[in-house]
Copies of this chain bind each other. A is one copy, B any other.
Amino acid sequence: MAAQSSFAQKFTDQVLGTIREHDMVAPGHRVLIGVSGGPDSMALVQVFMGLKKDLDIRIGLAHLNHMLRGGHALADETFVRDFAREHNLDLVVERKNVAEFAREQQLCVEEAGRNVRYDFFNRVACEKGFHRIALGHHQDDHIEQVLMNFVRGTGPLGLRGIPPVRQKKFIRPLIRMSRVDILTFLDEINQGYRIDGSNADTSYLRNRVRHCLIPFLEKEFNPDIKAGIERLSGIIEQEDDFLDRMARTALENATTSRQKEQIDISIPAINTLDRAIGARVIRAALLSVKQNLRRISHTHIRDILYFAGKKGESGKSLDLPGQIRVYRQQRNILRIKKEATALRTLGRHHKTRRHQNAKTDENPGI
């Protein structure tokens, strides 16, 4: 990229703006870039190659061969290997039969692929001393994610879409750039890429959102709907961060004891909170005990708040997915605990209420 044309320069500058806005990297960092060979990751590598001196960072590549789509996956791998050799970049490649793994773990292929990929990136970063893992998600991915979550029945968290930075480790410098801009950029700098044939398969929810829902909304309702969704998710992100910080503080103040897989919270402290914060405190407490919020819905959280607020429930308990049980203890304490034994067995000794068929709204899915 010695002689960049004006579009490519502007593109790079905009990505630099996103990197700076979110403090994505610091001087001296080593950044591992996840590279599939598709346009997004190839653009990401090229941008980083152009910025690495300015940012004072070193970069390396990681490629996971999912062993899906037969010879295509091998051709992707070869493409990435050739690129790395040509540009003298460090590259780690791993192969994993994702379809087989999905069957073993009873996951859908997308979810299995995601798990395997993130696990691989994490492992390489840890072993080779990378400070950050950069991924090629862009603005259209983000908008599609918000819409996917919306049609699946998300809570406000799902409307945040794809976070620019996650766990202070995963960074997404292209998150404000559109798919069209990425292709124009690649075209201008004459960088080739591989095309993933499964992108056109509308049996995947994401592809149906991309190829059916968004064009329908743009044509019939609002040609600028993408900009509207981007703006909405930005406001939600800001407000969500703020409410989360408030809830974390409130949880610390309300916690009377904390052990591994168990937390005790003062019921009067919970009941004096605003309902909006109360719900977030319970969610944060569940997260600290359960380590994730899979299969936990807003209904569960509301039921816990109701259970906490009700008189005469001392000694009773409430069952939640993931072997989580909520007890009302003496001295106005709410105990959230992960049970070692299956709840079915425990249930004999406790009067419990069971939840069924509750949908999670807390998994943004990226």
Known contacts A220-B208, A242-B274, A276-B242; is-contact A231 B152 (Cβ 8 Å): no
Q: Which residues of chain B have C-beta atoms less than 8 A from A274's C-beta?
A: 242, 245
CA distance A254 to B275 in the complex (A): 26
Name the residue of chain B whose CB is nearest to the CB of A153. B228
Q: Is the interface of A mostly helix, strand, loop or mixed?
A: helix
Name the residue of chain B whose CB is nearest to the CB of A275. B238
Q: Which residues of chain B have C-beta atoms less than 8 A from A213's C-beta?
A: 217, 220-221
In contact, B152 and A238 (Cβ under 8 angstroms): no
CA distance A213 to B213 in the complex (A): 10
In contact, A361 and B228 (Cβ under 8 angstroms): yes
Interface string of A245-285 (1 = CB under 8 A from B): 10000000000000000000000000000111101000000
Asked if A188 is at the interface of the complex by the 8 Å CB criterion, the answer is no
Total contacting residues, chain A, CB less than 8 A: 42
In contact, B155 and A231 (Cβ under 8 angstroms): yes
Asked if A232 is at the interface of the complex by the 8 Å CB criterion, the answer is yes
Binding site for B on A (CB under 8 A): 150-156, 159, 205, 208-209, 212-213, 216-217, 220-222, 224-225, 227-229, 231-232, 235-236, 238-239, 241-243, 245, 274-277, 279, 298-299, 359, 361
Additional A-B contact list (6), CB under 8 Å, known A151-B222, A208-B221, A242-B276: A150-B150, A150-B232, A152-B221, A156-B235, A213-B220, A241-B276
